[in-house]
Structure 1
Amino acid sequence: MFNASTLPVSKTSRAWTPGRISWVWRISVLALLFIGAQVEVGPFQLAVYYLIQDRWTILLAVVLMMGVAALAQRGCGAGLLDRLAASERLPLLMLALAVLAAFAGTHLIFGATPVSYDEVQADFDARVFAAGKLAYPVPEAWRPFIAALGPLFFLRIPDGAAWISAYWPGNAALRALFDSTIGMAWCSPALLGVGLASTYGVARKLWPDRRDAAFIAVLLLGTSSQALVTAMTPYAMTAHLAVNMLWLRLFLQDRPLAHAGAMAVGVLGVGLHQVVFHPLFVAPFILMLLCQKRVRLAAFYMAGYGVALAAWSLYPVWLAWLQTPGAGPSDPIRALLVDRWADGAGQGRFGHGVAFGLTVLNLARLAAWLNPALILLFAVGAPLALAKGALPRAILASVLLTAAAATLALPYQGHGWGWRYSHGVLGSMALVGAMAWLNLTERPDRGEWSSIVAGASLGSLLLLFPLNALHAARFAAPIRDALALIQGAGTDLVVVDGDAVSFGEDLARNRPDLRNTPKILSLEKIPPAALPELCRRGSIAVFDAGAATRLGFIGANGPEPRSPMREAFDAQCKARIL
């Protein structure tokens, strides 16, 4: 059995007073901001843009913590958390409000419009699955242009016979399920609710006599901008958070049926969108079982995850073969290896300096998008978790292992709110923070710590979250405006000059059945030999740097020198400039 009720509550050094730890936090965050402003990250200009945007949140967080620390020393709000944590209904109310806020933000902040192509792919696949297909057949007339119609992250099925993303299908399948019931826009908010409820359940299991610890865990997670804003998007990261915490909730029940349920949830977790993330989360817990000599249970999980990893790894190969059974078996395998695994590993080519710079930027963004109290309590709780008990060490290790893997293999996250590759372990971070809370409430300065956590959480919700939401809305607005301009072009086709527009390829969004008008193509992905045929397909408009500049796209500053492909297009096609 797991020794959940004996997690550490021992006293830490009296030298680490709330004021001193708060100062360490502020200095560390400012150092991240300063170093991040100096580092060179080569072609990853988007990461720098995000830091420039988030620096105001970081500075506001530092000011907030200074004010909170000053008020705490005067005893303001010392008993607030104790009164709130005593309520049995308040966590349920917090959960409901978080779900409703995420649903409202889906429309109010993002206009129910995906920003990045990762999000586009999630909705694209969901519509394919909702139509009862695993991949959507492509009309033969459009197969030569399939790479231009879907320029990013598509599984390269031989001959372009069908199209579906190269991501694994779990997140999209969940979205398709919601689309057929209460609406796709409810999917991510509902998954946030599952993540919060499961985090609360895990904390109640770990500390059955300390309801306040479960309240603190939910408070730290539910008032973080990253959790709320990401749940307004189709990103798979909210699903990872929900699956990980639901898995841990079942795992800690430590009964045969619960372990079977955890394994079933784990199969979904492996296939959510990337096979690597969920196994990184569960690996420390399986290692814990081995250290406890619970070999049979560990073998059950290792066998289950081995089968799941093998099956999901072969899924794209099987899917590609299913669409083109006459193709040689090496074709989809080569497509998988080249287009998926090689692209994921390709970030390493930028060198250790760039990887270090991106890691600093990721940590700075994480600091800007989490409740400052979560970061503070995680820093206090990490040594406690490391020092005492196999279970707290496993919870901490799930965070550190995921962060290390993301740093080494995927230092560049592209778009995202906060550090999205850490999203699946935010619940674990909140649990480590709750461990710190248990320790700190045994100290004479309990009231001061209570004031700091209460004030930081309130400030995170009322100050940092609105500012981050505003940043997200401003970033998304030009994309929505561009799509509205393109869809209102009144032509049969719109060609996006991606060489002249930063992330212009993200605008090439088409329905799976290609019945949308206009059809949107990425210029650089059009085969040059097929240009004459494209020009005969109907009227054409071009979205280029001029339109992007008018709409306020990042990095857009007027007309750019025309690429050879644009010159060839202009020479052969009569097109209207948007």
Structure 2
Amino acid sequence: MAIVIVWAKLWPEFLLHALGAPADVRPSAGVADKVGSLFQRLGDRWQPLVNLSRYIAWNDILMVPLAVLGMAAMRWRSMIRGQEIALPLALGCLAGCMLALAQGYGWGFRYAHGFIGPFCLLAGLGWARFRPQDALRPLLIGLCITALGSIFLVWRTHAFVAPYAASHRLIDSSQADVVLIDPRGGLYVTDLVRGRNGVPGKPMVMNLGMLTLDQVDELCKSYVVELFDRAEFRPLGVPLARWNLSRMDTLRAHMKEAGCDKPVQPPLPETFEDALNAAGNAM
């Protein structure tokens, strides 16, 4: 409760005192609305399960089961009297996994990373209370499964990220001032709108769907503009996503009429040897 008061009440008041009233005030949900939305997530029967499955898969396979045993090992009478040290750890882990935001795509369930330490402590308690005498076989089996699972997950992560990394390299190689992303037809292509190493630069990458007709005209008039759409990212292996936005059809048609729809092209080889390498030594 104290941390909620600090960030929700005291910090905004401090900013208001130090910097003055904001020039642009937008309505936002209050603290009660945000807390209510946390508990609404419990109504989604799949979200906590999906989050927890990611968390289990990207950690030691025995960590969560042993942590559950550690919770079961708590002495309930001591817990009621406030003498069970594992109780706050258990409450934090349960709240962190059940009420956390859905991270969307990704791996490891990053919103529960802060609870890895408490989970490990609870897992240690569960192992100490329930393990057979001098029996390390379950631990060794768990470590082997974790190692094999980690190899598989790292391979799948690389396979998932590779098309987007190739798309970033192609965009970064553009000599244009601005690259407009048309994300239709690709999964998570909107996330290609980012600067090099997180810093905006040349080319400036923008989402075409977020621009108005006048803004597109201004860009085409003042800068060298190139397009990056499904014709470029689909051959790189970006997964297909079937969605449409009719407003972007209008923008694309207007850009074509204005001659401002040149696609992103990789740079030309600088030397004859580079050209041979790019062609796979076809000659």
TM-score range, shorter chain: 0.7 to 0.9
Q: Which residue of 2 aligns with 1:439?
A: 129
Partners of 2:33 and 2:202 lie apart in 1 by: 31
SS where residue 576 of structure 1 aligns?
coil
Whether 2:222 is the aligned partner of 1:533: answer no
Number of residue equivalences? 254
C-alpha change, 1:501 and 1:345, in structure 2 (3 Å) is farther
For residue 133 of structure 2, what is the amino acid of its counterpart? Answer: R
Q: Which residue of 2 aligns with 1:123?
A: none
Shift of residue 356, structure 1, vs aligned partner? 1.5
1:416 alignment partner, one of 101, 106, 114: 106
Partners of 1:509 and 1:311 lie apart in 2 by: 33
For residue 415 of structure 1, what is the amino acid of its counterpart? Answer: Y
Structure 2 matches for 1:6-45, cutoff 5 A?
A: none
Partners of 2:36 and 2:213 lie apart in 1 by: 26
Shift of residue 473, structure 1, vs aligned partner? 1.4
Partners of 1:390 and 1:426 lie apart in 2 by: 20
Structure 2 matches for 1:177-216, cutoff 5 A?
A: none
Identify unmatched segments of 5+ residues in structure 2: 265-283
1:496-547 superposed Cα distances (whole Å, 9 cap, x missing partner): 0134433222111136874x21110111111233221111122221111232
Structure 2 matches for 1:125-140, cutoff 5 A?
A: none
Question: Contact (CA 8 Å) 1:541, 1:577: kept in 2 or not?
Answer: yes
Question: Contact (CA 8 Å) 1:541, 1:575: kept in 2 or not?
Answer: yes
Whether 2:45 is the aligned partner of 1:356: answer yes
Q: Which residue of 1 aligns with 2:262?
A: 576
C-alpha change, 1:475 and 1:312, in structure 2 (3 Å) is farther
Whether 2:23 is the aligned partner of 1:334: answer no
Q: Which residue of 1 aligns with 2:66?
A: 377
Question: Contact (CA 8 Å) 2:227, 2:262: kept in 1 or not?
Answer: yes
Partners of 1:314 and 1:475 lie apart in 2 by: 44
Question: Contact (CA 8 Å) 1:374, 1:433: kept in 2 or not?
Answer: yes
Partners of 2:223 and 2:31 lie apart in 1 by: 37
Shift of residue 341, structure 1, vs aligned partner? 8.2
Whether 2:146 is the aligned partner of 1:457: answer no
1:419-455 superposed Cα distances (whole Å, 9 cap, x missing partner): 22221111111100111122125xxx3233x210132
Question: Contact (CA 8 Å) 2:182, 2:207: kept in 1 or not?
Answer: yes
Identity %: 22
1:394 alignment partner, one of 70, 88, 97: 88
Whether 2:228 is the aligned partner of 1:550: answer no
C-alpha change, 1:414 and 1:318, in structure 2 (3 Å) is farther
Shift of residue 402, structure 1, vs aligned partner? 1.8
SS where residue 226 of structure 2 aligns?
strand
Q: Which residue of 2 aligns with 1:477?
A: 162
Partners of 2:110 and 2:72 lie apart in 1 by: 24
Q: Which residue of 2 aligns with 1:496?
A: 181
Structure 2 matches for 1:267-278, cutoff 5 A?
A: none
Partners of 2:125 and 2:12 lie apart in 1 by: 37
1:185-237 superposed Cα distances (whole Å, 9 cap, x missing partner): xxxxxxxxxxxxxxxxxxxxxxxxxxxxxxxxxxxxxxxxxxxxxxxxxxxxx
Partners of 1:490 and 1:575 lie apart in 2 by: 15
C-alpha change, 1:499 and 1:510, in structure 2 (3 Å) is same
Shift of residue 312, structure 1, vs aligned partner? 4.2
Question: Contact (CA 8 Å) 1:523, 1:566: kept in 2 or not?
Answer: no
C-alpha change, 1:535 and 1:357, in structure 2 (3 Å) is same
SS where residue 371 of structure 1 aligns?
coil
1:466 alignment partner, one of 148, 151, 154: 151
Partners of 1:506 and 1:497 lie apart in 2 by: 11
Partners of 1:523 and 1:343 lie apart in 2 by: 33
Identify unmatched segments of 5+ residues in structure 1: 1-282, 284-301
Instruction: Return the TM-score normalized by structure 2.
Output: 0.75
SS where residue 489 of structure 1 aligns?
coil
Q: Compare the two structures and name the one with the higher helix fraction.
A: 1
Partners of 2:238 and 2:53 lie apart in 1 by: 23
Partners of 1:575 and 1:363 lie apart in 2 by: 45
Structure with larger Rg: 2
For residue 71 of structure 2, what is the amino acid of its counterpart? Answer: A
How well do the aligned residues superpose, as a CA RMSD in angstroms? 3.5
Shift of residue 481, structure 1, vs aligned partner? 0.6
Instruction: Return the TM-score normalized by structure 1.
Output: 0.39
Question: Contact (CA 8 Å) 1:499, 1:524: kept in 2 or not?
Answer: no
C-alpha change, 1:504 and 1:372, in structure 2 (3 Å) is same
